[in-house]
Structure 1
Amino acid sequence: MTRPDADSAAQAHMDFTRSLSYGDYLHLDTLKAAHRPVTAAHDEHLFIAVHHVSEVWLELIVRELTLAMDQLGAGITDAPLKGLTRVVRAQEQLTQAWEVLKTMTPADYLQFRSAFGQASGFQSAAYRMVDILLGNRTPVLLQPFAHQPEVHARLDAALHAPSVYDQTLRLLAARGLTVPPEVLGRDLSTPAASHPAVLEAWLTVYRDPTTYWDVYELAEKLLDVEDNFRRWRFNHFTTVQRTIGMKGGSGGTSGAGYLQRALGVVLFPELWEVRTSL
């Protein structure tokens, strides 16, 4: 008798009448059913696929940022590094997705662009949540979600809660570094503005990283996150520019012009300024 080949594909589990299959576990029928182009244009399939995948990565980033922020709020500095590293890797996937979309030419896009009306990534709740958690606080940007009360409520709650940078500054204060009350008690619905005392606190950390290694490492990881966020924004801008030029966006913004202005947003100002002051 010959022994069964342990490495043969025939040894795989074949009967899924009483257990979850790969497709069952991932609800692939539901996932594929959501891929519903509204035109016969070939490249609309690409357009939908890239945006579906991006939404999944954005939701993962929200989840990881939220956990990291909870940990920072509890005074934990090592565990958040793992979550923030995962955020950075997910951001890399998001940025790379634009490269796939760039294979679509202007003529390809014009075949279906008018079919989805005023729908736009500007209305992505997951993207807006990432934006808010990272500290880009602009209340007017919640208005497109007014027709979705639960979504709007979640975004509004995040808008009035500490950002990941706010949690980090509170951690600095807990370590005995000087972070002024007007910074710790600021209106959280507004973006963080550079403050000389906060810069001085970071200078203390960066001049003595051995003593403050955990917050020093945290600061560098936060810069990785913002650096990647900027790269994603830049790739978004160039993708739009090469596809529709300077035409207005479908959601009502100026399109590439709006995206170009967004490139100037700075989320963690003192972490960039500390390099000049060292």
Structure 2
Amino acid sequence: MGLLRETMAHEKYTTYSGYLHLEDLLSLQVERSGRNGDHEHDEMLFIIIHQVYELWFKQLLHELEFARDRMAADDMPRLLHTMQRILTILKVQVAQLDILETMRPLEFLAFRQMLEEASGLQSYQFRELEFVLGHKRTSVFKRYPDGSDARKRLERRYREPSLWNAFLGFLDARGHSIPREDLGRDVTAPTEPSAGVQAALVRLYREDPTLVQLCERLVDLDEGLQEWRYRHVKMVERTIGTRPGTGETAGAAYLRGSLNKPVFPDLWAIRTDL
């Protein structure tokens, strides 16, 4: 019997659909339209795009954690490779907006009311990404009830060192002296510009071409995130105009407030001094 159970457990993952749990995965696209005979063709696209976004958010969190670990291990080759993968995923996420923009305003408005209070601002994985990148603030907690799994995840990320915290420690360990006050900053505080860090980065850019590669990939990541935010705003504007967003948000007006806010401000500030 033990051998039979072992064989059955092995066979469960020997097929493509079994390994990927396709039956479960493909059952998750549950349309709300059509329940009263008013099926809307584009709702399936809307659901799939956002589910795919959440899968990519999960992978980005996985890769960013690994990048942070590679910094602690002083593993520069794997770190650069991981950063390149992160950038490639981000490009795919930006490109997915092209697909979403094939949905015209009337097609979205036909089922928009079925979203009720659901809003992309409730994506706790995206908030986790922001926290991992150093954009920390307690105001986001109010969207998630005390004790909920989402709240617990966010609280854990809030208390963790950000990628930027790890990056500063990595630079210091490699001989690029980072001011003690910056290395010892409260990890729950948002990343703020630092004259001392900027001075160290200017020296690094002039003396250490290998680490410059890493710095530039962090700039690419920051720029890619800002590009995604911009494209997201324009997609919302062309789809719902100036209407309020779902979930009691201000729609595009709210999203525009997130533009032009880099997560690694020191890497942008030094451009004038190089």
Query: What TM-score results when the alignment is normalised by the length of structure 1?
Result: 0.88
Which amino acid in the other structure matches residue 253 of structure 1?
T
- Work out whether 1:128 is the aligned partner of 2:114: no
Partner of 2:190: 191
Render the CA deviation track for 1:104-133: whole Å, top value 9, x for unaligned: 111111111111111111111221111111
d(CA) in 1 for partners of 2:117 and 2:180? 43
Render the CA deviation track for 1:212-257: whole Å, top value 9, x for unaligned: 2332211111111111111111111100011011211112221111
**From 195, 204, 221, the counterpart of 1:225:** 221
Which amino acid in the other structure matches residue 222 of structure 2?
E
Displacement of 1:173 after TM fit?
1.9
d(CA) in 2 for partners of 1:69 and 1:75? 10
Displacement of 1:199 after TM fit?
0.6
8 Å CA contact retained: 2:57, 2:125: yes
Match of 1:253, SS?
coil
Displacement of 1:135 after TM fit?
1.2
8 Å CA contact retained: 2:12, 2:18: no
8 Å CA contact retained: 2:226, 2:262: no
Partner of 1:95: 94
Aligned residues: 260
**From 12, 20, 27, the counterpart of 1:26:** 20
Render the CA deviation track for 1:41-63: whole Å, top value 9, x for unaligned: 11111100110111111110000
Which amino acid in the other structure matches residue 136 of structure 1?
H
Displacement of 1:147 after TM fit?
5.4
- Work out whether 1:178 is the aligned partner of 2:172: no
8 Å CA contact retained: 1:78, 1:214: no
- Across the aligned residues of Structure 1 and Structure 2, the Cα RMSD in angstroms comes to 1.8
Unaligned runs of 5+ in 1: 1-16
Which amino acid in the other structure matches residue 41 of structure 2?
H
8 Å CA contact retained: 2:13, 2:19: no
- Work out whether 1:258 is the aligned partner of 2:258: no
Match of 1:111, SS?
helix
Partner of 2:237: 241
8 Å CA contact retained: 1:118, 1:250: yes
Match of 2:243, SS?
coil
Render the CA deviation track for 1:55-88: whole Å, top value 9, x for unaligned: 1111100000001111212333321111111111
Partner of 1:118: 117
Partner of 1:269: 265
8 Å CA contact retained: 2:83, 2:217: yes
My pick for the range that moved more, 92-101 or 77-86, is 77-86
d(CA) in 1 for partners of 2:162 and 2:213? 18
Which amino acid in the other structure matches residue 72 of structure 1?
M
8 Å CA contact retained: 2:97, 2:232: yes
Specify whether residues 19 and 140 from structure 1 end up closer, same or farther in structure 2 by C-alpha distance, changes over 3 A only. closer
8 Å CA contact retained: 2:12, 2:19: no
Unaligned runs of 5+ in 2: 1-10, 34-38
Specify whether residues 100 and 149 from structure 1 end up closer, same or farther in structure 2 by C-alpha distance, changes over 3 A only. same
1:65-104 aligned at under 5 Å gives the runs 65-104=64-103
Which amino acid in the other structure matches residue 223 of structure 2?
D
Specify whether residues 240 and 44 from structure 1 end up closer, same or farther in structure 2 by C-alpha distance, changes over 3 A only. same
d(CA) in 2 for partners of 1:70 and 1:155? 19
Specify whether residues 102 and 168 from structure 1 end up closer, same or farther in structure 2 by C-alpha distance, changes over 3 A only. same
Which contiguous aligned blocks of 4+ residues in structure 1 show a shift greater than 6 angstroms?
none
d(CA) in 1 for partners of 2:203 and 2:154? 35
